[in-house]
Amino acid sequence: MNYLLVALGGAFGSVLRYWASFIFSFPFGTLTVNILGSLAMGLAYGLLSEKGLERASLLLMVGFLGGFTTFSAFSLDVMKLVSDERILHALMYIFTSFLGAILAVWVGFLIAKGLSS
């Protein structure tokens, strides 16, 4: 049942993200989705995490927001590190995530370019 909740939420989140790409011009669709998804993740975490609503969390946080934007999960991780007063860990996580993701996209592109030539 848990997998079904995640899959169902993810399907709706992914479709909504795709729809947002038509409403906003590049790169504002992604920016809007990331900010709104992070706001929604904070709201969902604040409302659901302490109430024991595991299935609602799976549907909304893991499924819907995971499909809508993975940036919201990253933002939640940073917030948790900061709230645990692990500021250095949070800064390292931010730096590594951004730099690592950008580098990984670049390397993936170069590999794909090399394979297609």
Mean pLDDT of 50-67: 91
pLDDT at 30: 86
Q: At a CB cut-off of 8 Å and minimum separation 6, what does 21 contact?
A: 29, 30
Whether residue 6 contacts residue 58, with contact meaning beta carbons closer than 8 Å, is answered with yes
CB 13 within 8 A of CB 64: yes
Asked whether the whole model's pTM tops 0.85, one would answer: no
- Using CA atoms, how far residue 76 sits from 13, 37, 95, 105, 117, in Å, is 17, 10, 15, 22, 40
